[in-house]
Structure 1
Amino acid sequence: MATTAPPKRPLIERLPRWLRGPLGPLLEYPQLLLISIATVLVMAGQGVISPVLPLFAAKFGVGSAAIGLTLSSFALARLLLNIPLGLLSDRYGRRLLLVSGPLVTGIGMVGSGFAVGIVDLLAWRFVAGAGSAMYMTGAQIYLTDISNPTNRARFIGTNQGALLLGVSVGPAVGGVLAEFWGLRAPFIVTGIAALFAMVHAYFKIPETRHLALAQIEAERKPSIPGAPAPVAPRREWLRFATSRDFVAISFVVMAIFLTRTAGKQTLMPLYAAENLHMSPGVLGAVFTVMALINVVLLAPAAVIADRYGRKWSIVPSSLVVAVSMFMLASASGYPMFLAGALVHALGASLAGPAPAAYTADIAPANLRGLAMGMFRTSGDVGFMIGPPLLGALADATSFGWGLAANGVIMAAACLWFLVIARETVGRGPAKQPAVAKV
């Protein structure tokens, strides 16, 4: 007598419990997996050049302030294009940005690798920043299209994990490429990775603009037949933008991005190379370990933010990062530098998705898109002004004083948020409804 084999359990149920949290969304929702693959490819390229970009720029005989501009020009493109690209996506669709973004990034990276002077490098970095803005804006809108309010943070957090994974595998590769084939090689490899992301997006990622159009049409219908459609109160966006909570979180986000680009990506490599004589390969390995710590602690950080509140993540994280900057500023050898780098990675990991979650908590329902756009702009301001500002300070004094000033800015943002901002209580886990079908 034939026996019927028992049905196989879904793959997610066969995973160890500790893997279900980070991998569950990817296995449950194919659309999320597709965008996460593209994010890994794009961000791996960004990670490849992170430890060598300051060293490459320094070869042109410029100071720390000019070296910092290589990051600021990248951020300036994002700052200028975030809103126009969002409007472009609303009119012509998400795939336009998701496909052309990696292409433009690849062109900018390859051009950077062939730069013959600092002006050339700054121009190509602006092009690469434009491509990054195109992809990241398209990805954020895509994630919003395929999710709903009960699972949107989970989706964004998963894509953030993909972003961190891409960044984590890049620095070690960049360091090895630079040591064996020169400082131009990482830029060429980054361009190739971006082209792979473009091909993947073109063939695998579907258009989702119709989902947004359907939601907009549904929201325009009044809840009571015959009643006028709801209209957002005038100046509500201004009240939100000037509220104490949003101003406080904007200061924190600006300080986080300033620290990321000025402290970590500009002053740390220069300090290690010039004061400690650290090779690109060793520096790349240090950056890789820091990024891997961020990946590992992303899920626990999200749990802390949801279970105990956003401030329990944001405030300790900011304080620990500030302490790490002071440790790096006083490092006179490898042990203190490595300890400062480890403390920095732990502190940066504590925040996780908490700043974005806090912004979503305080945003009015009808202003969520604008709120998240303003949130990203706050980060891009810090991204842009940090490297030249602290680079100029380092030129006038020393790398140590530049890192210490970074610590002061981070501590000030932390204390401001602690005193001014209100706590928002995280909600418990909710049953996840099905994702909108593309």
Structure 2
Amino acid sequence: MADSRPPGILSRQLILSLYLPATLLALGQSMVAPVIPVFTKSFGIGVDAASLVFVAYSAGALVATFPAGYLMDKIGRRPVLLAGPLLTAVGSFMTPFSHTFFELLFWRFVVGAASQLWQQGRVLVIADTAPHDQRARQMQWMVGMTRTGQLFGPSVGGFLAAGFGLWIPFAVHAALTIMAVIPAYNMIKETAPGRRRRNDDSEEVKAQGWGPVIKYMITFQIVAFLCIQILAQFGRGGQEQGSLNLYAVYAYDMGPGELGLLNTIAILFGIPVPFLTGYLMDKFGRRAVIAPGFAAYAIAVALMSLTAFYPLPMSYFLATYVLVQATAGTTGGTMQVLGTDFSPQENRGRFFAIWRTIAQLGATVSPAIYGLIAEHAGFGIAFLYLSFCAVGVVLGLSRVLGDTRAKR
């Protein structure tokens, strides 16, 4: 009898189709992260307009989210997932050749949309295939490998930009993205239930459609979860796209080399965190890990706000910068684990289309709100806003939402 057990957490299949691509994609993306704020500043715009670079990235992800989820139910996970890296390569390569700020926004929009195709597709495949007691580890270890890929990317990208030109990191990012999709092409199989079993008279196919999904989405538990998801996105303020770098550039006049080194140090502290949180979420439950993570992040950004209110030494800013990045690592990917637990087996792509669209809507407006507050009320108030949103996540998880994986 054939062995039908799912692959182990460190199987060859997961290494080549999940962990290695995540590492390469993150390496390329992190190389351009410290360069984008500097390239944006070269257009001679203020911090509120500069934040639109991160809004454009999130807007691209937002526009792609709904059709991506629907198409993954309609035509399958695999074609949508593999299209993401190819579009990312094109968008990244063209970014440094932008002649106007609006061209730059367009290519960041393309990269954001493409990245969402890969990210949403890969998470959906995990939801289809991973055992429930292994799901958090697969998703969080993907985050961990992403952070591993980000370790040297900022320093290398900053060095290449400073020494050879701003366009070099973007070209390398495009090349790494193409490399990432090569092993995934053969290893990733179709996992959509409706595509694996083509019997149109089956009960599974008959259950496909928007009606059951909408009915499920308006239950109290899912509505509460979506509200908490939005607060989580607001609390991050576009940090995952590098919005915190804007503060370093505009308040401390840091260049790409300094930003690259600073990001590398912060990522080094954060690498072990997702591996630990994935294990703990599978063992003790999601809420037991997510709530403390957002609480620690809330404290960190509150401490960062002091650098804007008082003339504190550079050493304090550097320490709090690393602390914010490290605690943000405890929140990265955790809400996706929670949402995947809530996703139904059938119509999962449609559920993702609605859920992730709402999440991306929060991610889209969050950097703009952060930049607007920073421009008109100061960075200190903007950091406190992020902290209050994170506290809202903690309260929502602790007081309202039930756990999806209690300790057994």
Q: For the superposition of Structure 1 and Structure 2, which TM-score range results when normalised by the shorter chain?
A: 0.7 to 0.9
| Amino acid aligned to 1:70 | V
**Alignment of 1:247 onto 2:223:** yes
Distance in 2 (alpha carbons) for counterparts of 1:279 and 1:375: 37
Residue by residue, what CA displacement relative to the aligned partner does 1:117-176 show, whole Å, maximum 9, x if unpaired?
210100111111222123223323444455455544443333333333223332222222
Aligned to 2:177: 194
Distance in 1 (alpha carbons) for counterparts of 2:125 and 2:213: 23
Aligned residue among 195, 213, 217 for 1:213:
195
**Alignment of 1:297 onto 2:240:** no
| Amino acid aligned to 2:250 | E
Distance in 1 (alpha carbons) for counterparts of 2:93 and 2:18: 24
Q: Is the 8 A contact 1:103 1:195 kept in 2?
A: yes
Residue by residue, what CA displacement relative to the aligned partner does 1:314-355 show, whole Å, maximum 9, x if unpaired?
222112111211221212332222232233234223345542
Aligned to 1:310: 286
Higher relative contact order (CA 8 A, sep 6+): 2
Distance in 2 (alpha carbons) for counterparts of 1:259 and 1:177: 32
Aligned to 1:18: none
Distance in 1 (alpha carbons) for counterparts of 2:254 and 2:366: 24
Aligned to 1:280: 256
SS in 1 for 2:51: helix
Aligned residue among 65, 69, 80 for 2:48:
65
Segments of 5+ residues of structure 2 without an aligned counterpart are 1-6
Aligned to 1:82: 65
What is the TM-score normalised by the length of structure 1? 0.79
SS in 1 for 2:375: helix
C-alpha deviation, 1:115, in angstroms = 0.9
Aligned to 2:9: 25
| Closer/same/farther in 2, CA of residues 333 and 383 from structure 1, 3 Å limit | farther
What is the TM-score normalised by the length of structure 2? 0.84
Aligned to 2:3: none
| Amino acid aligned to 1:63 | G
Aligned to 1:12: none
| Amino acid aligned to 1:113 | P
SS in 1 for 2:282: helix
Aligned residue among 109, 115, 123 for 1:126:
109
Distance in 2 (alpha carbons) for counterparts of 1:164 and 1:114: 28
Aligned to 2:306: 330
| Closer/same/farther in 2, CA of residues 406 and 261 from structure 1, 3 Å limit | closer
| Closer/same/farther in 2, CA of residues 249 and 206 from structure 1, 3 Å limit | closer
Residue by residue, what CA displacement relative to the aligned partner does 1:372-404 show, whole Å, maximum 9, x if unpaired?
444433331222101112112222232222222
Distance in 2 (alpha carbons) for counterparts of 1:338 and 1:49: 21
**Alignment of 1:378 onto 2:358:** yes
Residue by residue, what CA displacement relative to the aligned partner does 1:92-124 show, whole Å, maximum 9, x if unpaired?
444433443222111111111111221010011
The higher radius of gyration belongs to: 1
| Closer/same/farther in 2, CA of residues 156 and 302 from structure 1, 3 Å limit | closer
> What is the correspondence of 1:7-26 to structure 2 with a 5 Å cutoff?
25-26=9-10
Q: Is the 8 A contact 1:301 1:349 kept in 2?
A: no
| Closer/same/farther in 2, CA of residues 414 and 248 from structure 1, 3 Å limit | farther
Segments of 5+ residues of structure 1 without an aligned counterpart are 1-22, 223-228, 429-438
Q: Is the 8 A contact 1:71 1:383 kept in 2?
A: no
Aligned residue among 357, 360, 368 for 2:337:
357
| Amino acid aligned to 1:324 | A
Distance in 1 (alpha carbons) for counterparts of 2:53 and 2:364: 9
Aligned residues: 398
| Amino acid aligned to 1:36 | Y
Distance in 1 (alpha carbons) for counterparts of 2:378 and 2:250: 11
Aligned residue among 399, 403, 407 for 1:423:
403
| Closer/same/farther in 2, CA of residues 77 and 263 from structure 1, 3 Å limit | closer
Q: Is the 8 A contact 1:266 1:387 kept in 2?
A: no
Aligned to 1:435: none
Q: Is the 8 A contact 1:94 1:138 kept in 2?
A: yes
| Closer/same/farther in 2, CA of residues 24 and 235 from structure 1, 3 Å limit | closer
Distance in 2 (alpha carbons) for counterparts of 1:80 and 1:119: 18
140-149 or 324-333: bigger deviation: 140-149
Distance in 2 (alpha carbons) for counterparts of 1:168 and 1:301: 19
SS in 2 for 1:116: coil
Aligned to 1:431: none
| Amino acid aligned to 2:380 | G
Distance in 2 (alpha carbons) for counterparts of 1:73 and 1:189: 22
Alignment root-mean-square deviation, CA: 3.2
**Alignment of 1:107 onto 2:116:** no
Distance in 2 (alpha carbons) for counterparts of 1:103 and 1:262: 24
Distance in 2 (alpha carbons) for counterparts of 1:314 and 1:266: 22
C-alpha deviation, 1:59, in angstroms = 1.1
SS in 1 for 2:65: helix
